[in-house]
A and B are shown apart, each in its own frame.
Chain A
């Protein structure tokens, strides 16, 4: 069905607010970053020199940059997979609860309102090697917790802190998805003698696939772009380079190191990566998704 407008101008007028927002907050900065990536400039903007591809050459000859890419992949997929599986589990459980349903759901949605930096500080305190309750408990269980020294533990910490916030969001979508699954299908299956586990994997889960796919995209983008607050508040990319993700590196080099050219080059690379990632997801994964 096609909607036709009597005048040519009206649709554009209605689109204008969204287009303006996109232009001001996305296209303009993106263009600035693209331009900046070819210059080297002092922090105060007093002098500027065109350096061609030098910023990119510097990036791609730096072995640590590749390491940071690897770190980002490990981090992002851990956050997405962990966040989605925990949220799915909680949603299935919450969907079954009959008494006090609203209370459970509200409590589970709460963490989403917490700012990333605050979430970071919270987990940082809980896991502090010398006074954090979780670290002390782990210590008594025989695990020597020190994320200041152990890169893997630091990674676990930032993954937990980043995931925790995202679980609420995923939970909401899964819960809505579950409620949209027709009761009749499940009832029919149980009459046929299918166990609850079987019913979940053969009926509910496939029907949730549009939600799951959407959440996978959203979670990966979240882990890629919005987690530097958490990392800054907990590990600052350390120990060594073990939690230095691409977006944290952009933030660090640009806002702390004031290396605008280098930082801009990195954000251009990030833009490209996310573009490619999204295309791949829609091209190859979406085909397997059942929308109806």
Chain B
């Protein structure tokens, strides 16, 4: 009798707990430091808001490591439901048709309300298919801007903020005359000085709508505009107007130490610069070449989006869909945007942030949003979709470095880049056709 009682209690308890167990949804991400804590906070807020699903964020290292481990996990059939993939991995994810669950389809099949027009097209454009359907959910997007040291500008008596590359040149000369060692440095040279340079002037970076039109795309980055820009940068490197400081965002050190007065870097670098700069700084739009374009186009984004992977249960996908809806809420988006410096992904989040007076209280934070949303994105400014893009960027880095060191002229370097890059594109085409 006693035993029977005990047994019924145990059974009762186990039924109760299984009845209340929330479905777990694993989310692999690449956000370290403060942003990583914020990601945990967002997941916790979602988990607390309902009790059917539990999102578990897992930090997997940097972007490359996160993507590589998700792919390895997929091959071992241990993949997470959601993975954060950086923008250059987009083509690889898209091509893996059997591995991904397109977000627009997921939302439709899970019955979540999903209005693609409420998202900023300059952001989502990067992640849509040729029918304009969203394949992944943008999470953290940024775009390059120009940071400048106001103190050094004042000291050199410069009043106007540089708008064009011609301005950058003349301002740098004035700065140098006032004793500043270098005019500007840059982070992510391929992204800023080739990919976004092309978008800003509405010229193609690659054929077939920058790769959106199919795997047969070829690089076009050795056009007259790009060659002229890189040639000029090579000359500037010699005269000290430009100072190269590495492939990633190592240039920050030169900007912080006031060795360089200007710095082209991602809008998401804002928080770091604010923390480290011991001087007053401003944020300007990414310069363009006067005379090469009447009205500069929108820049393209960097950052990452969330991809849903195949191989999970219907129940888990319902959880994923409801989490993605939660992420797109204006309040959640606005909070993430204001905290991290990444761009808002919905129009509602942008106007909410504006209404809260965030932009006027934090000068410079709106620059990137305005620059992103100028005009309607064209085939040249929607984004880039190139296979093996990680390696292609590596090739670009190598060849640009040979220009900065004066070994090769701009035309030759970019011609070689195109040739080497195209070989990688053909390889990708063959592996994914």
Listed in ascending order, the chain A residues whose CB lies under 8 Å from chain B are 40-47, 49, 58, 64, 128-131, 148-151, 236-241, 252-253, 255-259, 261-262
Contact = CB atoms under 8 A, between A and B. Distances in A.
Given A41-B431, A257-B390, A130 B96 contact: no
Secondary structure type dominating chain A contacts? loop
A239 B413 CA distance: 14
B51 interface: no
26 contacts: A40-B431, A43-B71, A44-B74, A44-B75, A44-B98, A46-B96, A46-B99, A49-B431, A58-B427, A130-B253, A130-B254, A130-B257, A131-B253, A148-B245, A149-B401, A149-B404, A150-B405, A240-B398, A240-B401, A240-B405, A241-B398, A252-B394, A257-B391, A258-B92, A259-B431, A261-B431
Contacts of B407: 240
Contacts, number: 93
A148 B250 contact: yes
- Interface centre among B74, B431, B432, by most chain A C-beta atoms within 10 angstroms, is B431
B68 A258 contact: yes
Nearest to B254: A130
B1 to A, nearest CB: 54
Secondary structure type dominating chain B contacts? helix
Interface string B93-120: 0011111000000000000000000000
Contact of A43 (B64, B96, B391, B402): B96
Contact of A45 (B75, B394, B398, B404): B75
A255 B68 contact: yes
- Interface centre among A41, A64, A149, by most chain B C-beta atoms within 10 angstroms, is A149
Contacts of A46: 96-99
A130 B427 contact: no
Contact of B398 (A41, A239, A256, A259): A239
Nearest to A48: B431
A131 B257 contact: yes
A42 B431 CA distance: 5
Interface residues of B, number: 37
Interface of B: 64, 68, 71, 74-75, 92, 95-99, 244-247, 250, 253-254, 257, 259, 388, 390-391, 394, 397-399, 401-402, 404-405, 407, 420, 427, 430-432
A68 B68 CA distance: 25
A255 B390 CA distance: 11
A45 B96 CA distance: 9
Contact of B402 (A130, A237, A240, A258): A240
Contact of A239 (B71, B75, B401, B432): B401
Contacts of B420: 64
A149 B254 CA distance: 15
Contacts of A45: 74-75
Nearest to B248: A236
A37 to B, nearest CB: 14
B405 A149 contact: yes
Nearest to B75: A45
